[in-house]
Amino acid sequence: MASLREEATIMPDVLEAIMLVCFGLSWPLNAYKNYRARTAAGASWQFIALITFGYFAGIAAKLVAGSITWVLIVYLLNLVALAANWIVYFRNVKLDKQKRNKLEAAWVDQLKKEQAE
């Protein structure tokens, strides 16, 4: 059985991991929702960047403190899920641009038809 001292050193890592898992579960869901939406409207690159910076700061804190434990793996898994959000975001920005270009071309064609009449 673990001593009180051992439990006191394990518990912060367990609580941090629980927080990271709960927070991190939102990223795959968000990536899937945005993938299906096929638009970057409503998505914020600034928000994703801020969260990314936060994860890197958390990892840096672990490294600087010399507290390299299994919790670092949870940080890295969250970064992988966040990377999927970046990929979907840039894909959707590209799709939005293609849609906008298609609409603009259709509008120009319509104007040319009206002028020809």
Burial bucket for residue 84 (CB in 10 Å: 0-12, 13-18, 19+): middle
pLDDT score at 8: 72
Per-residue pLDDT band for 114 (boundaries 50, 70, 90) equals: confident
Of 112, 9, 26, 2, nearest to 67 by C-alpha is 9
Report whether pLDDT(93) > 60.
yes
pLDDT score at 27: 93
Report whether pLDDT(1) > 60.
no
Report whether pLDDT(69) > 60.
yes
pLDDT score at 116: 86
Of 2, 18, 24, nearest to 71 by C-alpha is 18
Neighbours of 78 (CB within 10 A): 24
Of 12, 19, 13, 25, nearest to 70 by C-alpha is 13
* Amino acid in position 64: V
Alpha-carbon distance of 59 to 65, in angstroms, equals 10
**Mean pLDDT, rounded, for 44-66:** 95
pLDDT score at 63: 95
**Mean pLDDT, rounded, for 26-34:** 94
